[in-house]
A and B are shown apart, each in its own frame.
Chain A
Amino acid sequence: MNKVWLGLALGGILGIFDGLTAWFTPAARAQLLGIVIGSTVKGLIAGVLIGYFARKVNSLPLGILFGLSVGLILAFAVAAMPNPEGKHYYFEIMLPGGIVGTIVGYATQRFGAGTDLATR
């Protein structure tokens, strides 16, 4: 499996899981399906970007940093979306999002076939 597909698969799986954890918040259960779909899409986008980066740059520290950054940015975009309650849960959404991005960044650097450039 090449790095882009690995990123896509891992980002999607972690996105689904991340979305499902909303079930533990009773107030969010009514919107669980939307949350899971949104989280999955976020995970897929992050996975593709991070996998593509891993294909171009073969560096574990940079891959992790890129994954963390993409995870945080996309999570920020979700957290900043208008909320009926008027609240924004930046910390609760961005921190796990950043960790998920880090996991995908690490995985795509360590595993998956295909690197276009030389190692740094």
Chain B
Amino acid sequence: MRISDTAIERLRAAAEFPDLSGTRYRLMDKLGQGGMGAVYRVEDSVLERQIALKVINILDDQNQLAARLLQEARVIARLEHPGIVPVHDVGTLPDGRVFYTMKLVQGRRLDDPETALGGESECLRSFLKICEAVAFAHAHDIVHRDLKPSNIMIGPFGEVLVMDWGLAKVLGSSHHRDNAGPDDAVVGTPGFMAPEQERGDSHVGPLADVYSLGTILKFLLKQRAAEPVSRRLTAIVRKATEAASAARYASVQELASDITQYLQGGAVAAFPEGPGARAWRWIVKNRAWILLILAYLVTRTLFILWRRFS
């Protein structure tokens, strides 16, 4: 029997859009497709709000992906931070697929060409917010392992959200539980993951996220190609993306601290300066003071000389 194209389209649509009957959610539209699942916009009929629902939509006969999705939801649920999308609910669809719901993020991804990044200071402040979220995760023994511009969302009011914790790793606890997530073969995205991740090292830790943050910073600075990047900022990127993890910043907080120092015109750890350079930087930072005091001294001196010689 030959199946018509219309029937094939209907079957494809049925596979693409999950059956949410029996749940409190009503399907609205599809937002995106990831490696193992798709994200949909749904309406919560109880709370009467729109949220996002993530569900596996590829074959998972050994339930491995279901376990991963559940682990992802649990990881995000542990991280209550303004920079991390909150999880609302976890459940099972009538067809047995696991899903979880989360806050619907209205915004643009960092790698979207239409994302307005603003000037250098604004870019760096947005980057600091990413660092805050990642540092929070590290403080809860969670390493993201897939930080990249497409996993960062910028909201309409400038809020920054770190998304897609599907490859996150829970670090060793007192029970040496060193990952309840995906297989440690090679996880991450080429171009943004640390060398130790590319090699498939078994003990990938927070320093891998430091490397990825460095690549995100490099990406942000490249987006503003028309403006030259200062040597101090270049040194910060270089230190964060050192191939040897021991040569990088020891933590995300250290990286964030150097960025903050840079924004305030202070000394950055990644760029050692001689006395002359430090003095010049101090002068530039306090130039308003210096010019005012110089103006006063020059004025006073001129008046004294004028009175003396007139």
Contacts and interface: CB of A to CB of B under 8 A. Distances in A.
Interface in A22-77: 24-25
Contact of B292 (A18, A95, A102): A102
B278 interface: no
A119 to B, nearest CB: 17
A79 interface: no
Interface string A80-102: 00000000000010011001101
A103 interface: yes
Contacts of A100: 296
Contact of A99 (B289, B292, B307, B308): B292
Determine chain A's interface SS by DSSP, over half rule. helix
A107 B286 CA distance: 11
Contact of A106 (B288, B299, B303, B308): B288
Nearest to A26: B308
Given A95-B299, A96-B299, A25 B292 contact: no
Determine chain B's interface SS by DSSP, over half rule. helix
Most chain B beta-carbon contacts within 10 A, residue among A25, A96, A99, A106: A99
B300 interface: yes
A18 to B, nearest CB: 8
Given A102-B292, A106-B288, A106-B289, A96 B304 contact: no
B300 A21 contact: yes
Contacts of B293: 103
A103 B307 contact: no
A24 B300 CA distance: 10
Contacts of A103: 289, 292-293, 296
Contacts of B292: 99, 102-103, 106
Contacts of A18: 300
B270 to A, nearest CB: 27
B295 interface: yes
Nearest to A22: B304
Contacts of A106: 288-289, 292
Contacts of B300: 18, 21, 96
Most chain B beta-carbon contacts within 10 A, residue among A18, A25, A92, A102: A92
Contact of A25 (B288, B299, B307): B307
B76 to A, nearest CB: 36
A21 B293 CA distance: 14
Interface string B294-310: 01100110011001100
A24 B299 contact: no
A99 B296 CA distance: 6
B288 A96 contact: no
A108 B221 CA distance: 35
Nearest to A60: B288
Nearest to A28: B307
Nearest to B294: A99
A100 B295 CA distance: 10
Interface of A: 18, 21, 24-25, 92, 95-96, 99-100, 102-103, 106-107
7 nearest CB pairs, A to B = A24-B304, A99-B296, A92-B303, A103-B292, A21-B300, A96-B299, A96-B300
Given A21-B300, A95-B299, 12 more contacts: A24-B308, A25-B304, A25-B307, A25-B308, A92-B303, A92-B307, A96-B296, A99-B292, A99-B295, A99-B296, A103-B289, A103-B292
